[in-house]
Amino acid sequence: MLTYLFRQQGLDADKDAVKVNVGADIAADLAALQAGRIDAVVTSAPGGEEAEAQGFGDTFISPVRGDVPAMQGQLFGVAYAKQSVIDAKPKAVQAFIRALAQAEDYIQKNPTQTIALLGKYLKLDKKTLTISWNATKASMPLSPQVSQQAYETANQFHVKAGLISISLAYKDLVATDTINKALNGMPSSS
């Protein structure tokens, strides 16, 4: 993310900033920020929201809330499986896709219960939980379907961030037939 954002402004994150690896989880990132060992951190939700709620940081760039126009509509979380797994275990893969669809439907239809479950899972206080939910709820997917537009936006992010060197074709990476087959086998919701 840092590399991408710097490149968007014509800067080089390797030359124009001092990057420090402080750990692989949000807790380590926030501890380093709170202790003053680092000046800023790139982290996923609810990292920024926790720093805000605890009073030692502010979220100043959030792609999820729309602060980076070129990233609007992008995929933020994706489940991957090798084609060999899809071929070998089609029923399990389809069941997984249907479970995602049911969870996404539940999130959309039951926000109050979703917030309560999220709070238990993340072990967040009410203030941090509210800030986190408000920051991320608009990015919650409505379906396991991966639109070509969302895919292309994410693909361009990965190229521009230097994570991949060439764009990868939607049809080569998104198993639309598998997703459609799984979703068409779902009972209709009332």
pLDDT tens figures, 3-40: 999 998 999 999 999 988 887 788 889 999 999 999 99
Task: Give the pLDDT score at 123.
Answer: 84
Residues 6+ apart with CB under 8 A from 21: none
Enter the pTM of the model.
0.74
Residues 6+ apart with CB under 8 A from 94: 178, 181, 182, 185
pLDDT surpasses 50 at 167: yes
DSSP category for residue 187: P
pLDDT surpasses 80 at 185: no
For the chain, the domains span 2-71, 83-184
Distance CA 91, CA 182 (A): 9
Poorest-pLDDT segment among 74-78, 121-125, 128-132, 174-178: 74-78
Burial of 167-184, coded b for 16+ CB within 10 Å and e otherwise, reads eeebeeebbeebbeebbe
Question: Hunting for tokens 């396991």 — which residue is that?
Answer: 144
Burial of 83 (0-12, 13-18, 19+ CB in 10 A): exposed
Task: Give the pLDDT score at 37.
Answer: 92
Task: Give the pLDDT score at 189.
Answer: 54
